[in-house]
Amino acid sequence: MSEALARAFQAESPEPGAQWFAIWTHSQWEARVEEALRLKRYEVFFPNLRVASRRRDRRIVLARPLFPGYLFVRFVPSRETYLRVANTDGIVRILGDRWDALHPIADDQMEAVRRIVTDGEGARAVPWIRLGDRVRIAAGPLTGLEGFVLAARPGRSTFVISVDLLQRSVGVELADEILVRL
């Protein structure tokens, strides 16, 4: 486990009532925001995946954010804490309606993300595709086609094109990562 992950999850005695919240940052500011929040003594979790990358003369392993533009911070929600976190350079906002209506993230979901990042070989982010979503195919021989998701199973969705005039549809099962939700 990386040192940053260990620090984020090994609070000896987390404050009673502390919850995880998602922070939306400026583009590519995640690491700077993480460091600034750590200096303010907050528990911060910035999940990264190790991804192989090919250069002209060699292959290297890069750390890529699992959720680009987002990181997670744990604190007890209050107006003062909200203002202290939200006024950190690089933060666009804390996800929620306002300081007294933030959207906490369940501890079990945060633990699942942590386990995937630390133990998940070949883990990758995929789009959030639901039944009925209108989507466009972004890669492959069907690139550019738009249609609806009729059925879904983990990692795959049944993409449907309907021909209104004939009142008929054609479906094909595709990997979620090549679908873009409209």
> What's the pLDDT tens digit per position in 122-139?
666 666 777 888 888 888
CATH number of 3-119: 3.30.70.940
Does the pLDDT at position 13 exceed 60? no
> CA-to-CA distance for 123 and 48, rounded, in angstroms?
10
Does the pLDDT at position 148 exceed 50? yes
> CA-to-CA distance for 43 and 72, rounded, in angstroms?
8
Does the pLDDT at position 154 exceed 60? yes
Q: Determine the pLDDT at residue 133.
A: 83
Q: Determine the pLDDT at residue 92.
A: 95
First-residue to last-residue Cα distance in the chain: 37
Average pLDDT over residues 96-101: 82
Q: Determine the pLDDT at residue 169.
A: 61
Measured on CA atoms in the order 119, 128, 169, 139, is the torsion positive or negative?
negative
Query: Are residues 73 and 38 in contact, defined by beta-carbon separation less than 8 angstroms?
Result: no
Q: Determine the pLDDT at residue 167.
A: 54
Q: For the chain, what percent of residues have pLDDT higher than 90?
A: 31
Q: Which residues pair with 25 in a beta bridge?
A: 91
Q: Where are the domains of the chain?
A: 3-119, 134-181
* Mean pLDDT estimate for the chain: 81
